[in-house]
Homo-oligomer: A and B are copies of this chain.
């Protein structure tokens, strides 16, 4: 989804370049979730809406922080690629595990110029996106849903269900024992 002529304005590209340099030099050197308050501050300075208890690990990559909203106790783990050309929202107590790919951009394969398209991703409260899963453009993941490791999700996922596979399929309902 890289291209030759950028679908972004020059202003957008400059802002992202500055953001990337800032994160890589000022946040990424502090491993994992160390100095989280400082990392949150950096994200907020670039427009992200980050709850005081949200976590973004050092090696997570955020494409456009001004398109990121993270609610209380949510988490983007190590190596997550949050490619938020469109808004990405992470619900309360939701976890996106290591090396997941949240991919909001695609291309219109029916257009002659193969133009870029963008759609938001929403991850519900208490959802868990397990390691190395892929979430595609426009996908909404319901509250409490579990996305299995390496699952590839291109359709919405019902609340309190467990899905897995490529493409991801319904596996079972999620029931919490109290």
Contacts and interface: CB of A to CB of B under 8 A. Distances in A.
Contacts of A119: none
Interface in A120-178: 128, 130-132, 134, 136, 146, 148-152, 154, 162, 164-167, 174-178
B111 A177 contact: yes
A97 B1 contact: yes
A110 B106 CA distance: 35
What is the oligomeric copy number? 3
Contact of A111 (B110, B111, B131, B176): B176
Chain A interface SS verdict (over half): loop
A84 interface: no
Contacts of A97: 1-2
A153 to B, nearest CB: 10
Contact of A109 (B4, B57, B146, B150): B146
A2 B77 CA distance: 6
Given A2-B78, A2-B98, 20 more contacts: A1-B97, A1-B98, A1-B130, A1-B131, A2-B77, A2-B95, A4-B33, A4-B55, A4-B73, A103-B131, A109-B128, A109-B174, A110-B175, A110-B176, A110-B177, A111-B177, A112-B178, A136-B149, A150-B152, A152-B166
